[in-house]
Amino acid sequence: MFSKKLFVALGMLVAMLAQPVHGQDYNVDPGMWEMTYKMDVSGMPENMASMMKKEPTTKQECVTKEDISFKPEDMEEGCTFNKTSDSPSKVVWEIECETAQGSSSGHGEVNFHGTTSDGWFEMKVQAGPMGEMQMRNTFDGKRVGDC
């Protein structure tokens, strides 16, 4: 079975990138943010895909400038992360992973609009116990108040 740890790591990556990443003055206002995530999976056995296809998930989180930082050591071992474009209003990235469970690659972007944010992330698993599959995550958020 494909590593659940890799799916968790990808989810964490999406969550981190849906917020400002320290080191650049992104167009994001700190405060209480409400984020909505949706993941679609294709190319895997139907019983596994049905467990992963869920309605959008929404959560609230207090975001401060000090809270947000992306460190390469936070990545899953065997994964490399590369920002291909980085501006106050948009971050575009690529990721490559080679783990014991298989290889995968992906890309995505997040857009910052001050009090809102949106983006997407796609991951293709080229090899693994379940064969090839693809995931597409979309997310959007809005500042809903102070912390």
Contact between residue 110 and residue 90 where contact means Cβ atoms under 8 Å apart: yes
Taking only the tens place, the pLDDT of each residue in 120-137 is 999 998 765 666 888 899
Question: Please, which pLDDT band fits residue 145 given cuts at 50, 70 and 90?
Answer: very high
Q: Which runs of E-coded beta strand occur in 64-115?
A: 79-87, 90-99, 102-112
Q: Taking the model in full, what pTM does it have?
A: 0.72
Question: Please, which pLDDT band fits residue 18 given cuts at 50, 70 and 90?
Answer: very low
Lowest-pLDDT range of 15-19, 59-63, 74-78? 15-19
pLDDT at 103: 85
Q: Which tokens in the block code for residue 15?
A: 């969550």
Identity of the residue numbered 107 = H
The domain locations on the chain are 4-145
Taking the CB of residue 110, how many other CB atoms lie within 10 A of it? 26
